[in-house]
């Protein structure tokens, strides 16, 4: 997994959760998060507020609801 792979994956999907990215590339969530941090520092990706799955059971792993958005060259809001 390299930065350009993540860029292409996120450009296609726009918003994606951490666990989906990690699963797609066969990487750990920690390694994937580190790569995403590089894109965040470059201003191309932003982490969205964690979202609940819609249930109140509290059993969803946080990584499944850790969302990232590809913003590319769009101005950040």
Question: How far, in Å, are 5, 37, 42, 56, 64 from residue 51 at the CA level?
Answer: 25, 19, 24, 12, 9
pLDDT in tens, 17-26: 898 999 999 9
Question: Can you name the CATH fold of 3-70?
Answer: Arc Repressor Mutant, subunit A (1.10.10)
Cα angle 42, 34, 67 (rounded to 5 degrees) comes to: 80
Sketch the domain layout of the chain as residue ranges. 3-70
Residue 36's pLDDT band, with cuts at 50, 70 and 90, is: very high
Tell me the pTM: 0.76
């Amino acid at each position: 997994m390299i930065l350009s792979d993540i860029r292409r994956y996120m450009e296609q999907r726009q918003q994606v959760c951490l666990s989906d990215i990690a699963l797609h590339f066969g990487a750990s969530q920690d390694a994937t998060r580190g790569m995403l941090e590089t894109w965040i520092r470059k201003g191309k990706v932003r982490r969205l507020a964690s979202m609940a799955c819609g249930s109140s059971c509290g059993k969803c792993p946080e990584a499944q609801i850790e969302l990232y958005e590809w913003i590319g060259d769009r101005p950040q809001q």
